[in-house]
Amino acid sequence: MHLEKFSGGSLPRDFYLQDTIEVARQLIGKELVYQSPGQGTLSGIIVETEAYLGNQDPACHSFNNRFTPRTQTMFKLGGHSYVYFIYGMYHCFNVVTMAEGVPEAVLIRALEPSRGIEQMQLQARPGLKAHQLLNGPGKLCKAMGLNREHDGWDLCQSRLFIREATGLDHRQPTIETSPRVGIDSAGDAALWPLRFFWSSHPSLSPVRFL
């Protein structure tokens, strides 16, 4: 399977060591790339993220420094992937942020398909239009073939990485914020404006307050 060569590489480690909220905001418009040996190059432009603030955030898996077999990846140095399984059905792809031992992360909620669209259509649920392939955290993992095997990968040194979008993909998004999705049980944290999204983009996840 042919794997596309990119003129620009992955984002540097320092990008992921910034404040988690800034990482979540700055990821909008970047390109998530998976160079799969079996499926070729699959990628999408990030259009929606959510920040999760570790020890101080009741909505975060690592709240109160909770360290479990699932959350241990969140304690890695910023720039690693954190992929978890939810509801017995879906995988969710996150980017670990901050210094080692500070368990914070950014959930990638939606992408605009960029490369490998035909292959992603084969892997996605049937009948989806292109802008629907990656418009939700579970859907993007299914279409891109991401699962627990990809948990803990170094996004700075692997076939799974995030890069600056270039050429036709390089656009300046208008970024808006809102509360995060599906965390009503997190008390006041459910109202924190930690969801970042490309305003009016057709590939946003279908949530009620858009």
Average pLDDT over the chain reads: 93
Distance of CA 141 to CAs 9, 78, 110, 130, 191, Å? 22, 20, 10, 15, 26
Asked if residues 37 and 1 have their Cβ atoms less than 8 Å apart, the reply is yes
pLDDT tops 70 at residue 133 = yes
Query: Based on the structure, what is the number of domains in the chain?
Result: 1
Domain-embedded: residue 75: yes
Question: Does 117 fall in a domain?
Answer: yes
Does residue 6 lie within any of the structural domains?
Answer: no
User: How confident is residue 209, by pLDDT bands cut at 50, 70 and 90?
Assistant: very low
In this structure, the chain runs to a length of 210
Indicate if the pLDDT at residue 96 is higher than 80: yes
Instruction: Fill in the amino acid letter for 147.
Output: N
Is 131 part of a structural domain of the chain?
A: yes
| Residue 205, domain member (yes or no) | no
Tell me, what's the pLDDT at 210? 32
Residue 8 included in any domain: no
> Is 80 exceeded by the pLDDT of residue 169?
no
> Which percentage of the chain shows pLDDT scores above 70?
93
pLDDT at residue 145 in the model: 97
| Residue 71 near residue 61, CB atoms below 8 Å | yes
Q: Which residue blocks in the chain are alpha helix, DSSP H?
A: 13-16, 20-26, 117-123, 137-144
- Is the pLDDT at 167 greater than 80, yes or no? no
CB atoms within 10 A of CB 182: 12
Q: What is the CATH number of the domain that holds 123?
A: 3.10.300.10
- Structural domain boundaries, residue 192: 13-198
Q: What angle do CA 103, 73, 182 make, to 5 degrees?
A: 65
Domain for residue 204, yes or no?
no
Distance in angstroms (rounded) separating the CA atoms of residues 18 and 41: 28
29 by DSSP, 3-state: which?
A: coil
pLDDT digits (tens, 9 = 90+) for 39-81: 999 999 999 999 999 999 999 999 999 999 999 999 999 999 9
Stated pTM of the model: 0.94
